[in-house]
Chain A
């Protein structure tokens, strides 16, 4: 009990609490403006967290992303444009409710379900993470190697594009992580004689380039005017919400748990959780024919699932240091910058930090209710900001942000080059999530691989000799076999389709 009080005490300190509230406001803004995703918002937040202590830094990221995932529902319901990809699954449904004059009910349900889903996700995190950490204290380099590799393979598996492109994206990330001093002998690798690269590629400019520059390029090319949002009566956002959610309580519970688990899978985040929860709730529904006509059941399920996924993603991130989605990949980058290496030892050595993270999650999810109402109230003004003003200012922010971490213009170059390459790759259906996961995990994979292979004296069978390590290894190989089999099957099918079409 003492530990809990200490944790809340740490988080509720005026300065930390102020940062959490400010980050929440920022998250609500990012989420409710279409085109600014939660991942991009987090990437833009990183240069600022660089200057904060670990707990407020994590608090800022947790609060901002929690709010952003909910706020993405606001323009979805009002304008039929999802604010973040995580809301895309039920944008049409929410908009149908608007057409029926139930926009307030849709938003109210979104908000309360986001809170419930978020809190269930936190509960899963609090219950599961320390247990898994206790088991994984006995892990050696073999287990870590397989676990990281399994995580990276999952990231490819869940990305929707072709596995080959996922693998290549992964390779780029891993190659980027090898730049600098190597972990085995301290030799300089791929630095091109440049002193700036000896310390490796810095994470902040890469993140900003990948997630912000790409988006700016797309948005500057295609300036869009948002239609005027309808007026919203706040009173109607409260009444009837409770009974609606109670009617679908089974769906809320199922989707929240499902979301937490999907979030915990590396590479699969809030958006995938929302799609799957929506599809499943349609399948299990008593009245699936009402889906797509402005029926709240799908919204209830999917908006609990996407917030639950956000919390669930922290399970593997905190326990193993293996990110569950792009946002936690960024968070791990931040933790590493602060000198904290996520892993089971954090649960033994730094319980204060772990408890504080739990506390931040609970507070952020509860704050969502009052701040969410305020955001819906302010959304008309926020949505009227012209996008052609927004993106040049964000570009300036990116430039300063990339510069600020190390005070070097070299990092601004890194941001630009990575941004342009990522833009071209995304245009060609390369997923970016495997790349960022690989960049963060690269060193972990290499270090544990080298340790293992030196210990095993080159005997690859040693990688399967320990029970957990062997299981993880077999799982990884099975996943690869599945990936290769699936892509061969798909290639064969398209070829058959092409030949019959001729």
Chain B
């Protein structure tokens, strides 16, 4: 996903303007012009100069606004890549209500089916992988992984 430098530079310039705007409300030390806003102001200024430099070189380069790299083309590839954020977001929203031991084998099994194309093998590996990570984190390191639906069953 190669963007034209002008586009990225524009984003940085916008970001720096937002920061400069946000720090105006910060207090300063009594009788001194400095305060919590000083350092962010300096960074935002540098960011703005850098962003403008990128915009300048991007406009001169006449490169297309957005180029998808060859290896990222194809709906199958994008589909597999979309699974990464999809997996994480699904975990964030579902792990508490459903619980780690029930959700993760299904989620991991589905993802493995997408990457390997072999559902049975994916299911076995998902079960083993979930078990191993549960053992490591919940049992050895005492991380409170959510039990979800199983809470009532166990307690």
Residues of A within 8 A of B (CB): 48, 51, 164-165, 167-168, 171, 174-175, 178, 182, 184-185, 187, 189-190, 213, 216-217, 220-223, 386, 388-389, 391-393, 395-397, 399-400, 403-404, 407, 409, 412-413, 415-416, 420, 424, 427-428, 445-446, 449-450, 453-454, 458, 491
Contacts and interface: CB of A to CB of B under 8 A. Distances in A.
Contact of B115 (A48, A223, A399, A458): A223
A185 B27 contact: yes
Contacts of B1: 424, 427-428
5 contacts: A51-B141, A164-B50, A395-B84, A396-B130, A409-B96
Contacts of B35: 184-185, 187
Contact of A222 (B8, B33, B53, B71): B71
Contacts of B104: 396
A359 to B, nearest CB: 25
B75 to A, nearest CB: 12
B112 A415 contact: no
Interface string B1-18: 111010010001000000
Contact of A404 (B34, B44, B53, B141): B141
Contacts of A446: 39
Counting chain B residues whose Cβ lies within 8 A of the other chain, the interface size class is 35 or more
A393 B129 contact: yes
B81 to A, nearest CB: 5
Contacts, number: 150
Contact of A182 (B36, B83, B92): B36
Contacts of A222: 71, 77
A189 B47 CA distance: 18
Contacts of A427: 1-2, 69
Given A164-B54, A393-B108, A400 B88 contact: no
Please report whether the interface of chain A is mostly helix, strand, loop or mixed according to DSSP: helix
Interface in B109-131: 111-112, 115-116, 125, 129-130
B9 to A, nearest CB: 8
Contacts of A386: 116
Contacts of A397: 133
Contacts of A395: 84, 87-88, 111
Contacts of A171: 12, 43-44, 46-47, 50
Contacts of B40: 175, 178, 189-190
Nearest to A410: B92
B39, B89, B96: most-surrounded residue (chain A CB, <10 A): B39
Nearest to A209: B88
A428 B3 CA distance: 7
B26 A450 contact: no
B83 A220 contact: yes
Contact of B26 (A189, A221, A399): A189
B153 interface: no
Interface string B135-155: 011000111110000000000
Interface string B48-62: 001101100100000
Nearest to B7: A428
A168 B112 contact: no
Contacts of B65: none
A182 B78 CA distance: 41
A427 B19 CA distance: 25
A142 to B, nearest CB: 16
Contacts of B32: 454, 458
A46 to B, nearest CB: 12
A182 B39 CA distance: 10
Given A393-B108, A424-B1, A400 B54 contact: no
Given A164-B57, A165-B54, A428-B3, 17 more contacts: A48-B141, A51-B141, A168-B47, A175-B43, A185-B35, A187-B27, A220-B80, A221-B72, A392-B108, A393-B129, A395-B88, A396-B133, A409-B96, A416-B85, A446-B39, A450-B39, A454-B29
B26 A187 contact: yes
Given A48-B141, A400-B133, A415-B88, A189 B3 contact: no
Nearest to A171: B47
Please name the 4 residue pairs, one residue from A and one from B, whose CB atoms are nearest each other, closest first.
A182-B36, A388-B115, A171-B47, A404-B143
B36 A389 contact: no
B116 A168 contact: no
A400 B139 CA distance: 13
A289 B51 CA distance: 45
Contacts of B80: 220-221, 223
B39 to A, nearest CB: 4
B112 A392 contact: yes
Given A184-B29, A392-B111, A407-B143, A167 B46 contact: yes
A185 B29 contact: yes
A124 to B, nearest CB: 34
A412 B92 contact: yes
Given A400-B145, A454-B34, A389 B50 contact: no
A456 to B, nearest CB: 11
Given A185-B29, A393-B129, A400-B143, A213 B39 contact: no
Contact of B2 (A182, A221, A396, A428): A428
A220 B143 contact: no
Given A171-B43, A175-B19, A389-B115, A184 B2 contact: no
